[in-house]
Amino acid sequence: MDLFVYGTLMVPRVMEAVCGYAQPGVAAVLPDHRCRLVDGEVYPAIVPKQGEQVNGLLYRNLSDQEVEQLDRFEGDMYRRGRVDVVIDHRTTTAQTYLLAAASRQLLSDTPWDLEHFVVDGIQHFIAGYDGFSRATVGANPDD
């Protein structure tokens, strides 16, 4: 399966810790979606939003086991769904984690920034996100 990621999973050590996947991602864009911080957290979520776009990475050919680990990591707040992403002016189908309808009230108006996350938020995320305990395969992301 191909997976479009837009947040914490763009950080290679997080992706590898969660599911063991260590291949580089390909830059991709998800049209007609919005990426914002989850209220009170250092990680984002996405929702459909006409006219906006989300920059991210496409990881290719994930195994069933890797996808199972990622599903556990993301938990009930997200739903994996099919999207069309653009890579080098070509559209391809992938899966991504969208904010579940029941959790939409948790989305803030604050844009998420990868550089800010890596500098100021990753340690808090690694220490506090319970998805790491749900995903049992993979290394410690602090390694």
Predicted pLDDT at 124: 87
Spans of all domains in the chain: 3-134
Q: Give every residue of the chain whose pLDDT is below 70, as ranges.
A: 136-143
Beta pairing class for 44-59 and 3-5: antiparallel
Active site residues: 74
pTM for the full model?
A: 0.92
Predicted pLDDT at 78: 97
Question: What span, in angstroms and rounded, lies between the C-alpha atoms of 22 and 30?
Answer: 22
Question: What span, in angstroms and rounded, lies between the C-alpha atoms of 65 and 32?
Answer: 30
Number of H helices, E strands in the chain: 5, 6
- Which residues, in sequence order, are bridge partners of residue 100? none
Q: Provide CATH code, domain 3-134.
A: 3.10.490.10
